[in-house]
Every structure is written in C-alpha cells, then in structure tokens.
Amino acid sequence: MKQQSRRLALCATCFFILGIAIQASAQQYTGKKGEIYGSWGYNEEWYTHSNIHISQPSLGNHYTFKNTLAVDKPGWNKDFFKKDLSIPQYNYRIGYFFKDNWAVEINFDHAKYVVAHRQLLHVKGEMNHTAVDEYVDNSPDVLVYQLNNGANFFLFNLVHRIQIPHLDFKNFDAALLLKGGVGFMVPHVQNTIYGEDNKKGFQFGGLDMGAEGALRLTFFRHVYLEYCNKVLYAHYWGLKIYEGKARQSFGTYEMIANLGATFPIGH
C-alpha cells in the first residue's frame, strides 16, 4: 500500500505542475542541437527473482540459491534531510544533443539490492562435495547478501526527444524522452554465506542494458523536472564471496524523479 501511495502521489504532483505551467506561457520554443544537460534525482526499484550461483572450489561448493527474492533500500524516512545526499538511492544523467532532438547520455543509478531475510531459500547443487537439494529459512546464519552501497548501474544511452504538441511555449515546454543503451556495473559487494564473510568492497560486476521513458517539464528554458520509468537487465559475474565467486542475473523496474538544468553551448 505504501508503494502504491508513493506512485500515485508522484504522478499527481507531475500532472499538477503540468497544469499550472500550461497556463503560464505563450510563445513557442523548440530545442536545437548544441544543448548540454545534467540532472540529479532519486529512485525506487523492484527486482525480479534471481538465481545466485555460488562457486567455492576449495570448499567443494558449487550450488545455487534458486529464485531468490531481493528488495531495494530507498533511505526515505523522517531523518532524510539530515543525511548526506548520497545515502538514499540517487541517480544522475549528463547528456548532449548532437542533433535536433537526438542526444547521447551518461546514465547512472545508485540502486541498492538486498536479499530479503523472510523467505524460504531453495538450495540446489553440491555442498562440501555432497549433493544438496533442500529448502531452508533464510537468516543471518544462512545468507546475508547485498549490493547495499550500490548495484550501481551505468548506461551509455541514445536519447530521442519528442516535443508534446501545444505544450511548447516561451517559458515552458513539455517533452517525452525515449532512451536506450548498454553499460556496466560497479557494485559494492558485501555478503555472509553460511557464516563466512567476504572482503567487502567495490568491483567491476558485469554488463547491463536498459530502456527508459521520461516526461520532462522545462521551465524558463533552463530548469526542468523529470518523471521517469525504466527497465533494466543486469548480468553479474565474478562477485567476491568467501573463497570463491558468485554470479547472477536479474531484471529491474525503476521509478525516478529528477531535477536538472539544460544550456546551449557554442553559437
């Protein structure tokens, strides 16, 4: 219910701002090539189930936690304004319109991935050189697995802007931005598997691809608000665990709100 309320509140805010802005302006403006833009915002994620493959050759372990459920950790609470800006799940975009309504963009999402404790884990494979196929209640003694200082998705996107007809004025315009690209991850890997801790830290994690749709409301030609929906697929490998490596793949759905600025460069 809380997640649904957040979605409805964010959508309502965007449409309210849009309604006010439409009445405030009167002269047409069309974006041209040579614009550079940047934004900062915050996000919330939902993840598909994932198979986490564990390989610890020296321990005789080659098994999988199957269909594992994970959640994000937005960091929204009553102390939000007392925190550093980088503690909640944040994101930024930097882009350049090289042609009318076509841009290239560096797209980064600091999203947190935490395996949920309240679930029944299906463990299948080989453990201590012995076949295993069992269900166990997850607890700190079984699996504490998180990319909690970021699953950290980087994308290099191609962006197409579509101006919304009749919403293109002197001091306000509205546009849809369609984005797609590929990239990589630099996760912060921290885990405890059957009581054994890894050496936590940042590392190269694998490759990803994603697509994003954004509603951008630009005020006075330079300041904009964005509401974005994004889907992403990530394939991780070589993640550090005790005496071994882990790999996994999962899909992500994101909702994102950004505040940004855009400026022409050159003549």
pLDDT at 145: 95
CA separation, residue 38 to residues 14, 84, 86, 107, 263 (Å): 19, 20, 17, 10, 9
Q: Can you tell me which residue has the tokens 């802005």?
A: 21
Q: Can you tell me which residue has the tokens 């970021």?
A: 150
pLDDT at 25: 36
Residue 159: strand pairing partners? 103, 179
Tell me the pLDDT of the chain (267 aa) as tens digits. 444 444 444 444 444 444 444 443 333 445 567 899 999 999 999 999 999 999 999 999 999 999 999 999 987 665 655 556 667 899 999 999 999 899 999 999 999 999 999 899 999 999 999 999 999 999 999 999 999 999 999 999 999 999 998 888 889 999 999 999 999 999 999 999 999 999 999 999 999 999 999 999 999 989 999 999 999 999 999 999 999 999 999 999 999 999 999 998 865
Within 10 angstroms of residue 158's Cβ, the number of other Cβ atoms is: 12
User: Could you give the domains of the chain?
Assistant: 2-264 (2.40.160.20)
Encode burial over 52-72: b for 16+ CB neighbours within 10 A, e otherwise. Answer: bbbbbeebebebbbbebbbeb
Task: Give the helix ranges, DSSP H, for the chain.
Answer: 2-22
